[in-house]
Amino acid sequence: MNTQEYITLEEQYGAHNYHPLDVVITKAEGVWVTDVEGKRYLDCLAAYSAVNQGHCHPKIYQAFVEQAKNVTLTSRAFRNDKLALLYKKLHDLTGYEMSLPMNSGAEAVETAVKAARKWGYTVKGIPDGQAEIICASNNFHGRTTTIVSFSTEESYRENFGPFTPGFKIVEFGNLKSLELAISKNTAAFLVEPIQGEAGIIIPPEGYLREAARLCKENNVLLIVDEIQSGLGRSGRFFAFEYEEIRPHAVIIGKALSGGFYPVSAVLSTKELLGVFNPGEHGSTFGGNPLAAAVAIAALDVLVDEKLIERSFELGKYFKERLESINSRNIKEVRGRGLWIGLELTKAARPYCEALMKEGILCKETHNTVIRFAPPLVITKEEIDWAVERIVSVLAK
């Protein structure tokens, strides 16, 4: 089958909840993907940061295959011999006392919301049914009904109400807005250290540090969503490390499995995750042995191959190369690590389509921003190759 035949089938039989570029990928390795016509492309999206380790990394693949030969799923009705090892790995790498594994990032966010609310009632003493969680404007934490309840993006909410109550919205990056929103019933402040879907928006320096101080002073949990920004994407293991803070809880996903399997988790203290009792929260697939084995291998690759350091160094280089482009179509270049937003003065979609023709795959966000987030295994030479084509497309 050719590209158009696959597209026709997809449009006919699939729900139209995405607007993908019209490339049909059949093979991927490292930073390169190949379509059904045999054309190769440099992947500058990395499945929204899910394949930080590169496509089909051989060490993760080996762990995946070896575990699949033994046991893939037991449910949490029984124990398995991989989950405990993942718990230990996460503790050793991050220092957090406990973790609770789920599947998708949205499930992990829902888990954090439930934990924060129960902590608010059972530990902080908030009156029943009155717990509040503060979120930031322009946030993106997932697509479930509860999560879109605290989104400020109208297209995520339209015709999906009624919405879940108990959330307040403050202006991202504005400390005064946060301070005024905190009340005696505030259980948590949920925030992305860098807003990805909003266009790689970095808050003012010191924002997270002062937010952590406000949370501590008011006995409020600080929960950071590092699903996209974490695990090396921003040039640090976690993006919050730039502010030298210690959140009460961290939400991770995407690159936790290197693209082989949906794996997510909430990392926190015994005080917070200890609020759950058997039967109060769970997932049939969460913490299954295949997921745990894959996650352990994915974390090992990040550390052993120094991909976090690589993201910091090459991200700085990539950003500087983009900043040096002289084009009146560029409004701003911003980013940390290999996570860069190129904001244009006009719609970004035609530029993404033109870049695809030049052999680069990236995607627009918030209409005018092109997001560049290649797998962290990209080389300096491949960045140079990409920049040449980006310059050409911008010139046209």
Q: Which sequence positions are flagged as catalytic?
A: 140, 225, 254
CA distances from 137 to 42, 153, 191, 322, 333 (A): 33, 9, 9, 28, 21
Alpha carbons 325 and 331: distance in angstroms, whole number = 11
In sequence order, the 6+-apart residues with CB closer than 8 A to the CB of 115 are: 100, 249, 266, 268, 272, 273, 275, 276, 281
Alpha carbons 110 and 100: distance in angstroms, whole number = 12
What are phi and psi for residue 274, nearest 5 degrees?
A: -70, -5
What is the number of other CB atoms lying within 10 angstroms of the CB of residue 169?
A: 16
Alpha carbons 141 and 147: distance in angstroms, whole number = 6
3-class state of residue 121 by DSSP? helix
Local structure of residue 49 (DSSP, 8 states): H
